[in-house]
Amino acid sequence: MVQKTTELYRGKAKTVYHTTDENLLVLHFRNDTSAFDGERIEQLDRKGMINNKFNFFIMQKLEQAGIPTQAEQLLSDDEVLVKKLTMIPVECVIRNYAAGSLVRRLGVSEGQQLTPPTFELFLKNDALHDPMVNESLAVSFGWATAEQLAEMKRLTYKANEVLSALFDAAGMLLVDFKLEFGLFKGQIVLGDEFSPDGCRLWDKATRKKLDKDRFRQGLGGVVEAYEEVAQRLGVNLG
């Protein structure tokens, strides 16, 4: 049986641990909630448990749709066993509706539907506030190959198809989301997490925000919104 051993990395909301299997890691979802590149951090009770179970539920849905993910086994309320990936330091972002930084950059109206959805790349670098980059820069600086980027883009669009339909059936709009990928034995694999921390979700009828914007914008009810999303999807929170 695989055992958790020493701490490998502590992020803003998760801690990563080595295991007795060199190909596997344990992700521990903490109750920490951060915004503005870690400048604001608070503890929200039950948030780690909700995100862990929500993430595993979503990863299973994506696996069933043919998207390889790092998720292996739910270990406890706040821990999951995952494949050890060599992460690619570029985030893939799909936008179905205008929100967040897109509204600030371009001065467009929040909520405007984007047809077709847009695809963007951002360098993972908190010190630089995750700047937008393009495929040419990513290849030139050696962050990823053109072939890897093409596969990441294909899988991100596929995830958008699967998840937009999933949330739509539960009365929600998938406004935008980010995905991170890594390499496992040479294959591009979806890593990190998919939770309300890394996407925007609105109620389809009212446009009520059900994601981390509730924390960023001081709207309150963050954990309650996350629980509502999970329950609408049928995630078993125990």
User: Is 152 part of a structural domain of the chain?
Assistant: yes
- 78 and 108: one domain? no
Domain annotation covers residue 228: no
Domain extent at residue 28: 4-83
CA atoms in the 13 A half-sphere facing the CB of 114: 19
- Name the helix (H) or strand (E) containing 24: strand 24-29
CA dist 151 and 78 (Å) reads 30
Identify the CATH number of the domain in which residue 114 sits. Answer: 3.30.470.20
- What pLDDT was estimated at residue 37? 65
Residue position matching structure tokens 């066993």 = 81
Q: How far apart are CA 3 and CA 36, in angstroms?
A: 34
**What CATH number has the domain bearing residue 77?**
3.30.200.20
What whole-number distance in Å separates Cα of residue 146 and Cα of residue 134?
A: 11
Domain shared by 114 and 187, yes or no: yes
Angle subtended at Cα 53 by Cα 50 and Cα 58, rounded to the nearest 5 degrees = 115
Residue 99 in domain: yes
Question: Are 36 and 120 members of one domain?
Answer: no
Q: How many domains does the chain have?
A: 2
Instruction: State residue 38's pLDDT score.
Output: 61
Question: Do 197 and 134 fall into the same domain?
Answer: yes
What is the per-residue pLDDT for 119? 98
Can you give the pLDDT at residue 42? 86
- Residues 182, 184, 187, CA angle at the centre, nearest 5°? 85
Q: What is the DSSP letter of 109?
A: P
Whether residues 68 and 166 share a domain: the answer is: no
* Whether residues 25 and 65 fall in one domain: yes
Tell me the C-alpha distance between 199 and 220, whole Å. 17
Domain annotation covers residue 153: yes
> pLDDT (tens digit, 0 to 9) for every residue of the chain, 238 residues total?
899 999 999 998 999 999 999 999 999 999 988 777 667 788 999 999 999 999 999 999 999 999 999 999 999 999 999 999 999 999 999 999 999 999 999 999 999 999 999 999 999 998 999 999 999 999 999 999 999 999 999 999 999 999 999 999 999 999 999 999 999 999 999 999 999 999 999 999 999 999 999 999 999 999 999 999 999 999 999 8
Long-range pairs of 126-135 with CB within 8 A, sequence gap ≥ 24 = 126/37, 126/38, 129/37, 130/37, 130/91, 133/90
Phi-psi region of 16 (alpha: psi -120 to 50; beta: other; left: phi over 0): beta
| CA-closest candidate to residue 140, choices 91, 181, 87, 90 | 90
Structural domain contains residue 57: yes
Does 106 share its domain with 67? no
